[in-house]
Each structure stands twice: as C-alpha cells, then as structure tokens.
Amino acid sequence: MITTLLSHAWKKFVRSVAFEKELATNIFLGFIAVIVFGYAIAFGFFLEKIVTNGLNQPDSVQFVSSLLLYYFGFEFMLRYFMQSTPALDVQPYLHLPVSRRYLVHYMLIKSVLHLLNFLSLVLFAPFAFTAVAAQPGSSAWAWLLSIYLLSLSLHYIVLIFKKGLDDTVTGFLALTGAIGLLALADYYNWFRLSAASAALFEFILHNPVSVLGLVALVLLVYFFNLTYFLRSMYPEELAPRRNSNESAAQNWAFLQSFGMLGEWANLELKLILRNKRPRSALMLSAFFLLYGLIFYTNKIYTQDLPGFLLFVGIFITGIFMINYGQFLFSWQSNHFDFTLTRPVSLAQVVESKYWLLSTITVICFVLSIPYVYFGWNILLIHLAATLFNIGINVFIIMNFAMWNPKKMNLAKGSMMNYEGVGAAQWVMGIPILLSPYVFYLPFSIAGYSTWGVIAVGVAGLLGLAFRSRLLTFTTNRLQARRYAIAAGFRKD
C-alpha cells in the first residue's frame, strides 16, 4: 500500500499541469541543491584543516563534537523555515476505504526524502572517515550514525512542533527564545552546552553500542508522530486552521484615524498576519536583524572594509522592505480584480503601501540601535541606510514590483519557494544594494568615508523631500499597468 501511494505521488508530480511550466525553476533549484551539497562535501574534507590550522585546536574531533549540539540547534531553525508539514498529501485518500494507519505511515516515510535529512551525512561523512577514523580505539561509523539519527529525530520533532504551533509568531518566538537562552547560558557558564555535546559524542565514539539508544529515540519520536497524526487525520483537522490567527483579524484602531490610508494599511497588515508566506517574510525579517553580528564582530569588515558596512546597514534596516516589497502586488493576486472594481483611488493604495514599508523600516532601525555597542559609526550607517531606504529604495522596489508580477499561493512558506519569482525579483537587487554607493564612493575614494555615509543619508532626505512627486510617478505607472497586471494574474 505504501509503495502504491508513493507511486501516486510521483505520477502526480510528473503529470501536473504546472510540471512543464515550472520545469526551468525545478532544474534551477536542483542545480542550486547540487552546488550546496558540493560545498558541504568540500567543507567536510577540509574541516580538520580548518579546525587545526585555522582555529588552532589540537584535537579536531573533540572540538567538532563540542559544537554538534549547536549545529543541531541551527538545523532545527533551518527545518522550521524550510520543512513543511506533509499532512495535506493524504487528504485526497481520506474518503476512500484505506486504513488511516497506512496513510500516516506513508506520510511519515515520504517526509524522510527531504534534502535536509541528507545534509548531516554529506557534511560530516568526509570528516568521520578521515579525522575520526584515524583516532585509535574510536568508532567512526557510530559517530556518524549518531549524527544522522539525531538529525532524523529532529526531522520528526519539527513535524510535531510545526503542526502544534501552525507556523505562528508564537512558535517563532518560542524557537528563537529557547536558542537564545541556551547561548546565553553557555556564555555566562550557567550551563555549558558545548561541554555536554563533547561528552555525549565522546561516549558514543568509544561505546558504539550506545547508538542503539538513538535508534530507540528515532522509533519513539516516529511512533509519537504516528499517534499524534492518527488522532487528527480527519478533513476538518487537516484543513488550514483559521482560529489560530483570529487575533490577526482584529482592527487596528489607531489606523482608522488616518482615513482611507489607514484602512488600506489595516487590510495589508491583516493579509500579512493571516497568511503563511507573508507572515514567514515578516518573521525572517526579524531573524535577519541579527545579520550584523556576523560582520560587526569581525575587524576585517569594521577596519579594512568599512564601505561594506553600508551594504550591511541597507540590508538590516530594509530587510522587510526587500522581502515583502518585491512581491508588493503579487500578494493581492487573488483579489486584484476586486481591488480595481472598488471606488477607491490608486494613489491611496500606493501611498498606504509606501507608509507600511517605510514604517516597518523605521522599526527595524529602532530595533538595530543596540548595534551602537560596536561603535557610533554603526549607528550613523544605519541611520543613513534607513533614510536612503525610505527616501529612494522604497520607490525602486515599488516600481520594479509592477514588472510582470506573478500569482502566488499565500498559504505556502517562503523558504525555497520560488512561486511568484520573475525577472524583476532577480534584477531589483542590483539598484537596491548598489545605488547607495553612487553617493558613497566619490567621498570614500577621496578618503572621507564618513562624509560618504552622510551623503547617502542626504540623498535619502532629498528623496523624502520629493516624496509626493515620486508617489505620483509610481501611481501613474500603476494606473497605466493595472489591466496588464490583472491579466497576468488571471493567466497564471
């Protein structure tokens, strides 16, 4: 029965109407996957040299073992955004005389084919059979198998986690809060997760029989999933839940004081909070506020490449504008025709979107103020980047978003989802990230990098000064393209 269901899934994939239409995208994604796995294999082979020569660690195996639980924390977060709950795959069979137990087994077995379940093997297998196997009295296969079994357990744990919390903001906050507390505990020596990780894998390394305990863990989590999904394997349970987001349906009272602009902004906020893909874009934007920790803690960037920090500032303060704004009109693809029939001004629609993007950009700037810990120049860069984003980049994004937008399914997640992606999304990144350097480089080349940052901020202020004209220009373009955009959504 399970093999029959797998056969049906393959036929559904190759016989789909959208298969040939999305063939180029699937080939591109496959090419990206091959590149990522190729880099993972190369990293695995060079991991020992990186640890011993680059990080000056005498025992590479112990050092890598001490970081493995942190790796699984990162993998958990990666799975949270990239791994989907496969419950809807079995919905067409629920009215048929097929055992629900078989359906759940099929669903759980099929989910193992996710690419993330092979990442740990590809990443650590070269290291296991070179560095780990070279140690006397150690069992490389047990060490590697334990990593894979923990990764597989994580796979099934994430299914329960996502099913229970339904990809809500609460789930995201719980996830990031737990990982943050572990990192804080390790930093202040309250609880050394790295020491626990090293002890665990050191024990497995010299006691291969202990792998049976991890096998039991996988089976335990698997049958917990089996029991959990059996209780909810009904059409009304598998349908997208609306009650979990009832709070998103509320009216934002303070927006009503802004008249029609506030009403449109209110509708936009409801769309973001009610639907999975725009909600994922919002949560990812919050996560990428930590992007600066990669660069601001590294002297190579803060001292040797100060101009690169402008790119980081543009990215941190404008991440939501970039993530959400590139599909600015595709979000309404399912009801764009209805919007055109309403007795409202397109100028109000455009201006409400402008204020939404600009307001969240300012909020991102406020949330990034703690980066002043790394220097007042960082705060100056973020301020200049924010002004440039809300004065110039927002109009670049809004106008590029009108370039043949595609229809989107808002119920899907955003990670590794290329639905709605067109030429505009690939091209718009060039002017967004490079246009600030038009104002920065002349001063930087002359040796006045700080004045270059100020020039970027002044350019943003000029954009704000001409905001009404830029909004009028954007409205006129939407007025001219509104029927072509609507026809494109119907065609998709």
**For residue 294, what are its two tokens?**
């990669």
Q: Residue 225's pLDDT is what?
A: 86
Q: Residue 231's pLDDT is what?
A: 78
Cα–Cα dist 429/62, whole Å: 42
Length of the chain: 492
Average pLDDT (242-254) is 50
Least confident interval from 193-202, 246-255, 423-432: 246-255
Cα–Cα dist 197/205, whole Å: 12
389 band by pLDDT with thresholds 50, 70 and 90:
very high
Average pLDDT (87-97) is 67
Of the ranges 13-27, 155-169, 407-421, which is most confident? 155-169
167 band by pLDDT with thresholds 50, 70 and 90:
low
- What are the residues whose beta carbons fall under 8 Å from the beta carbon of 48, sequence distance 6 or more? 60, 127, 130, 131
Cα–Cα dist 207/199, whole Å: 12
Exposed, middle or buried, 451 (CB in 10 Å: 0-12/13-18/19+)? Answer: middle
Q: Residue 18's pLDDT is what?
A: 56
pLDDT tens digit string along 363-372? 989 988 888 8
418 band by pLDDT with thresholds 50, 70 and 90:
low
What is the residue whose two structure tokens read 């009109």? 329
What is the residue whose two structure tokens read 């609460």? 170
Percent of the chain with pLDDT over 70: 78
Q: Residue 472's pLDDT is what?
A: 92
Cα–Cα dist 312/486, whole Å: 36
Report the b/e string of 121-135 with b at 16+ CB within 10 A. Answer: bbbbbbbbeebbeeb
Cα–Cα dist 19/26, whole Å: 9
Helix (H, G, I), strand (E, B) or coil at 55: coil
Q: Residue 172's pLDDT is what?
A: 61
243 band by pLDDT with thresholds 50, 70 and 90:
very low
Q: Which of 348, 325, 144 is nearest to 258 (CA)?
A: 348
Exposed, middle or buried, 137 (CB in 10 Å: 0-12/13-18/19+)? Answer: exposed
DSSP H or E stretch at residue 235: helix 235-238
Q: State yes or no: pLDDT of 149 exceeds 90.
A: yes
Domain ranges of the chain: 2-10+19-238, 266-491
**For residue 220, what are its two tokens?**
């335990």
**Planar angle of CA 379, 383, 388, nearest 5 degrees:** 145
Of the ranges 91-100, 119-128, 401-410, which is most confident? 119-128
481 band by pLDDT with thresholds 50, 70 and 90:
confident
Q: Between 486 and 424, where is the model more confident? A: 486
176 band by pLDDT with thresholds 50, 70 and 90:
low
pLDDT tens digit string along 97-118? 777 777 778 788 888 888 888 8
**For residue 26, what are its two tokens?**
């699937």
- The single-letter DSSP state of residue 249 is G
Q: Residue 465's pLDDT is what?
A: 92
Cα–Cα dist 329/402, whole Å: 7
- What are the residues whose beta carbons fall under 8 Å from the beta carbon of 20, sequence distance 6 or more? none
Q: Residue 244's pLDDT is what?
A: 43
Q: Between 425 and 450, where is the model more confident? A: 450
